[in-house]
Amino acid sequence: MNWFKEDDRAVIRALADILIPDAEGMPSASAAGAADELLDRVVQLRADLAPRVLAAVRFARGKDHRAALEELRTHDSETWQGFCLAIAGGYYLFDDVRALLGYTGPERRPVDPEAAPDFTDLLAPVLARGPIWRAPRTTGEAP
């Protein structure tokens, strides 16, 4: 299902780039496709977000976009949160963005049962200090 018309997309791109601009070595939301193909992927996975994105578009159309976002944030948290999640949710699915952040995402890393523990060297002082639990007087248990 195509939720967004081209003039909706134009507003979404503008709003999205205020949230996620081209800065700090990171691409803008629109350059990453977070208002286009990635947004389509997001609403395919989360159809509940599409009406909230459209509500944000309706609200912001013809207004100063930054002021509109600020107003949504303070007065309509459901639309605001839905819009933000849809944009950020798509943006951080973009492989280049993940690579720039050094983020690999959930990866399968089975434990090697033969590998030596990676903490033994650090644990010595903890063991040297001995028991730290407190015995209840009532039972006579003692460390």
Which positions lie near other proteins, rule CB under 8 A? 18-21, 23-26, 41-42, 45-46, 48, 66, 69-70, 73, 81, 84-85, 88-89, 92-93, 101-111, 113, 115, 117-119, 122-123, 125-127, 129-139, 141, 143
Q: Is 6 or 134 the residue whose CB approaches other proteins more closely?
A: 134
**What's the min distance (Å) between Cβ of 92 and other proteins?**
4
- Long-range Cβ contacts of 75-82 (<8 Å, 24+ apart): 78/52, 79/52, 79/55, 80/56, 81/52, 82/48, 82/49, 82/51, 82/52, 82/53, 82/55, 82/56
Q: Report the residue number, 6 or 128, with the smaller CB distance to other proteins.
A: 128
Q: How far is the CB of 71 from other proteins (least distance, A)?
A: 10
Residue 22 φ/ψ region, left for φ over 0, alpha for ψ in the -120 to 50 degree band, beta for the rest: beta
**Smaller CB separation from other proteins, 2 or 139:** 139
